[in-house]
Amino acid sequence: MPHPQLRLAASSPSIIVPVTARDRVELGHQVDSLARVRAGEEVRAAEEGGDAPAGGLPFDLVEWRVDLYEPFTAGVDPSGAGAAGTGIDPVPVVAALGAIAAALPDIPVLATFRTTAEGGGAPLADETYARLVELLAGSGLAAAVDVEYRHPRAAEAIAAAHDQGVPVVASNHDFDATPSADEIVARLTAMEDAGADVAKIAVMPRSAADVVTLLAATERRHRDARIPLITMSMGALGAVTRIGGGAFGSAATFATVGEASAPGQLPAARVREALDLLHPGSGQP
């Protein structure tokens, strides 16, 4: 069965929830919980008068944080020889991705290995990074893969994903500060120029003015961008961007059903309520 397609639009921002499991047992618990939440919302909507519009459900996509999973956090040298000379054992990786897809067959999965350079949970040798992206894309189970646009092998990784026909979410994270609006725009532009299908940036505010900077840069880039943008200001100070970003051009937000994967993520059900107020009747793109 082909995986669900990635569809993003600022007029109807999608909610992405992270899967942060450390091992197969925890992965099973997390995806079962997500499936129950999704099914429960569908049943409740049906009881209230018919089929639920997709926009009324608590989340639209899941992001699997591959870097938090045990093959990469077990202390094994990630640059060591693996199956087919890739430096990666594909069996647990594909099995985990398959478990997510099987539990949530109608939900697109964004597969992400976040490197330690951008706040991730495990190291990965540079030469292995593009191979992992290619493995995730080639599995046929991911609707999109994340590629850090500043990674030394970013161009190779983007090309590998596109060779498999899988869209790329290019990403950049600043956990220390908020760059200038000009710099944020420049980074988002560079992601599009590199061939990304979606451009994502997350920054840390130190003041309310920093939050305004992120939103202003988003609106400015959205006017010219030919691809969807995902932008956010992290932490409690930036929470408003996780709800109101669509008005400025951000096509998705990250929220939680369970464990968060970044500072400031809000509960998905509450974010859905807020988005339904801000974007009434828009549904899913």
163-222 pLDDT, tens digit each: 999 999 999 999 999 999 999 999 999 999 999 999 999 999 999 999 999 999 999 999
203 sits in the region (left: phi over 0; alpha: psi -120 to 50; else beta) called beta
For the chain, the domains span 14-278
Predicted confidence band at 114 (pLDDT cuts at 50, 70, 90)?
A: very high
Return the CA Rg of the chain: 18
Tell the CATH topology of 14-278.
Answer: TIM Barrel (3.20.20)
Q: Which residues are tagged catalytic? A: 173, 200
Q: Which residue has the higher pLDDT, 154 or 81?
A: 154
Distance CA 172, CA 97 (A): 23
26-74 pLDDT, tens digit each: 999 999 999 999 887 654 544 454 444 444 578 999 999 999 998 888 7
Buried-exposed string 38-54: b where 16+ CB fall within 10 A, e elsewhere = beebeeeeeeeeeeeee
Q: Is the pTM of this model over 0.75?
A: yes
